[in-house]
């Protein structure tokens, strides 16, 4: 009986001690953690994630401790509840990089340096820090700033604050919302990805947080352009405006996009060792950068032209960045870096491509998986098609013995075409009837006005949409070489002879 009473008493004592432990931990977790630290001092060491993803202990990591790269797949913390990716990623193991573009990458993931602080230091910071610029009143259209649209309301509030403080060069401030370290990572990434004009903002930041995980201080990092930002802005805008002024002369979004693509390829040299190579400044002003700089410059210029253009990050043999562009019929992938291939003078292999086209070479990561899928077709491979079917035009004028008549060239009044649409219809009918192979066909148009209209159609490549693309699709042709022979006839008529090699 004595043994039973002792056992019951022991159980009661243990129950009371456990209850006291629960009460103390719920009200003063710092006391418990401090006590545990006495028995496990090694837990005070700081864990630093190395660039390759391996962890190593480092007791000399500076004022802030834990440096973390953004997780490949990201986290939903801070994102809108109804968000889900429509993009279907290929398997990373299936990605293969063509030899001519191998190594043309260089994107650096967002890095976060975290430091956990004691409650007393947190209280001091809360009394010392202000919110800086709150960003209240700023409006960001998700059509042009898609990462903003991915966030929940709390995340958007903090996004506006981070943007406003970065714009004002305020380095340290208290968050306007109660937010965890993991939520902050997504919000900072959203600001950085949406705003290439903040070229002085680094791809890393620091935060101090309590044991509860609540962020107390956000500290932004700036590159050297922040030392004389006004002068840097002047140089940046001078270079940007020189391109924008040329692009503004183009009549449609596609031609503006193509012109910007071509100018950047002409002006920029890929250089893995380039200074500030994650920024648009490195591309626009210095002319030397990596994939991130190409993509940020392309994004900025198209934004200024009113064309939605997004910064997309992922994997292409290594960490890589490219763009997603919105045109009339949908979204397209554009990789300016890979089109600027050494020794090839620029090409369009990675210009306006679908996700299916990119499936063997690119896979999105991080928040970019939530960007719209790319399935546009109307502006896909247009430059390759232009190279394949751009006709040579030879104008004969009148013959030495004078202008020939309709009967001289084997035509009648019934064969005359009076409008550009009639001309397109006739060409389409001839090609679809004759199919693939080498052949000639002719038609006659009437009037100088129609003749000039037809010439413009060939100069501007409008004829491709007028009849050639549909004709090639109908006969299942992949390429076409065509030359035109134009002869002026009597009574203001013109004989157009088409010499076609359809394959």
DSSP-derived secondary structure for 82-113: T------PPPGGG----GGGTT-------EEE
For 11-130, list the strands marked E by DSSP: 47-49, 55-57, 66-69, 111-116
For residue 365, the tally of other CB atoms under 10 A from its CB is 21
The dihedral built from the CA positions of residue 10, 12, 13 and 15, taken in this order, carries a sign that is positive
Q: Do 331 and 378 form a contact (C-beta atoms < 8 A)? A: no
What is the C-alpha separation between 111 and 194, in angstroms, rounded? 17
What is the C-alpha separation between 348 and 72, in angstroms, rounded? 29
What is the C-alpha separation between 133 and 335, in angstroms, rounded? 35
Classify strands 111-116 and 201-209 as parallel, antiparallel or unpaired.
parallel
Looking up tokens 């002024």 gives 245
Q: Do 359 and 314 form a contact (C-beta atoms < 8 A)? A: no
CB-based contacts of 154-159 (< 8 A; 24+ apart in sequence):
154/78, 154/179, 154/183, 155/78, 155/79, 155/179, 155/183, 155/186, 155/187, 155/190, 158/78, 158/183, 158/184, 158/187, 159/135, 159/187, 159/190, 159/191
> What single DSSP character describes residue 465?
I
Please name the residues in contact with 410: beta carbons below 8 A apart, sequence gap of 6 or more: none
Phi first, then psi: give them for residue 185, nearest 5 degrees. Answer: -60, -45
417-433 burial, b at 16+ Cβ within 10 Å, e below that, comes to: beebeebbebbbebbee
Give the model's pLDDT for residue 236.
Answer: 98
478: buried, middle or exposed (CB in 10 Å: 19+, 13-18, 0-12)?
exposed
Residue from 276, 265, 258, 251 nearest 200 by CA: 276
In 3-state terms, the chain is what percent helix, strand and coil (to 5)?
45, 20, 35
Q: Is the pTM of this model over 0.75?
A: no
For residue 397, the tally of other CB atoms under 10 A from its CB is 8
Q: Do 153 and 145 form a contact (C-beta atoms < 8 A)? A: no
What is the C-alpha separation between 454 and 444, in angstroms, rounded? 12
Give the model's pLDDT for residue 3.
Answer: 57
Residue positions counted in the chain = 503
Give first-to-last CA distance, the chain, whole Å.
Answer: 103
pLDDT < 50 positions in the chain: 25-73, 345, 399-400
For 111-239, list the strands marked E by DSSP: 111-116, 172-173, 201-209, 215-222
CATH class of the domain defined by 228-363: alpha beta
12: buried, middle or exposed (CB in 10 Å: 19+, 13-18, 0-12)?
exposed
CA 87 to chain centre: 14
Please name the residues in contact with 137: beta carbons below 8 A apart, sequence gap of 6 or more: none
Domain ranges of the chain: 2-43, 65-74+105-222, 228-363, 391-502
What is the C-alpha separation between 57 and 50, in angstroms, rounded? 10
What is the C-alpha separation between 431 and 481, in angstroms, rounded? 12
Report percent pLDDT > 70 for the chain. 81
């Amino acid at each position: 009986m004595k043994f039973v009473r002792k056992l019951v008493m022991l159980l009661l004592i243990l129950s009371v001690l456990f209850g006291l432990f629960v009460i103390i931990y719920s009200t003063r977790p710092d006391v418990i953690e401090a006590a545990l630290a006495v028995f496990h001092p090694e837990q005070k060491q700081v864990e630093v994630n190395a660039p390759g993803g391996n962890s190593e202990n480092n007791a000399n990591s500076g004022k802030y401790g834990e440096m973390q790269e953004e997780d490949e797949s990201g986290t939903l913390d801070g994102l809108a509840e109804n968000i889900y990716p429509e993009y279907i990623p290929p398997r990373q193991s299936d990605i293969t990089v063509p030899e001519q573009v191998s190594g043309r990458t260089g994107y650096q993931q967002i890095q976060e340096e975290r430091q956990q602080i004691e409650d007393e230091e947190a209280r001091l910071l809360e009394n010392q820090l202000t919110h800086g610029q709150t960003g209240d009143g700023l409006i960001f259209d998700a059509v042009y700033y898609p990462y903003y649209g991915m966030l929940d309301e709390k995340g958007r509030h903090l996004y506006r604050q981070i943007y406003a403080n970065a714009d004002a060069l305020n380095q340290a401030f208290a968050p306007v919302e109660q937010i965890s370290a993991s939520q902050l990572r997504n919000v900072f990434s959203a600001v950085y990805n949406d705003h290439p004009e903040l070229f002085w903002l680094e791809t890393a930041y620091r935060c101090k947080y309590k044991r509860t995980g609540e962020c107390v201080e956000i500290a932004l990092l700036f590159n050297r352009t922040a030392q004389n930002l006004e002068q840097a802005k002047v140089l940046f805008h001078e270079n940007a405006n020189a391109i924008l002024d040329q692009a503004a002369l183009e009549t449609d979004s596609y031609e503006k996009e193509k012109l910007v693509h071509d100018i950047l390829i002409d002006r920029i040299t890929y250089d893995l060792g380039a200074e500030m190579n994650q920024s648009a400044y490195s591309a626009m002003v210095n002319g030397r950068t990596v994939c991130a700089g190409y993509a940020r410059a392309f994004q900025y210029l198209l934004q200024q032209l009113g064309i939605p253009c997004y910064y997309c990050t992922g994997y292409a043999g290594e960490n890589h960045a490219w763009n997603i562009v919105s045109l009339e019929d949908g979204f397209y992938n554009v990789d300016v870096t890979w089109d600027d291939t050494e020794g090839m003078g620029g090409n369009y292999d990675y210009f306006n491509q679908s996700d299916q086209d990119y499936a063997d070479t690119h896979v999105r990561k991080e928040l970019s998986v939530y960007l719209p899928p790319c399935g546009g077709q109307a502006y896909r491979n247009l430059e390759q098609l232009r190279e394949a079917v751009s006709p040579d035009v030879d104008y004969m004028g009148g013959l030495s013995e004078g202008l020939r008549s309709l009967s001289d060239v084997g035509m009648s009044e019934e064969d005359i075409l009076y409008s550009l649409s009639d001309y397109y219809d006739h060409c389409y009918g001839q090609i679809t009837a004759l199919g693939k192979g080498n052949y000639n066909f002719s038609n006659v148009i009437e009037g100088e006005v129609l003749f000039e209209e037809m010439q413009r159609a060939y100069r501007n490549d409008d004829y491709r949409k007028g009849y050639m693309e549909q004709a090639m699709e109908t006969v299942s042709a992949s390429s076409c070489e065509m030359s035109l022979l134009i002869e002026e006839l009597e009574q203001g008529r013109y004989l157009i002879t088409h010499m076609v090699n359809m394959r």
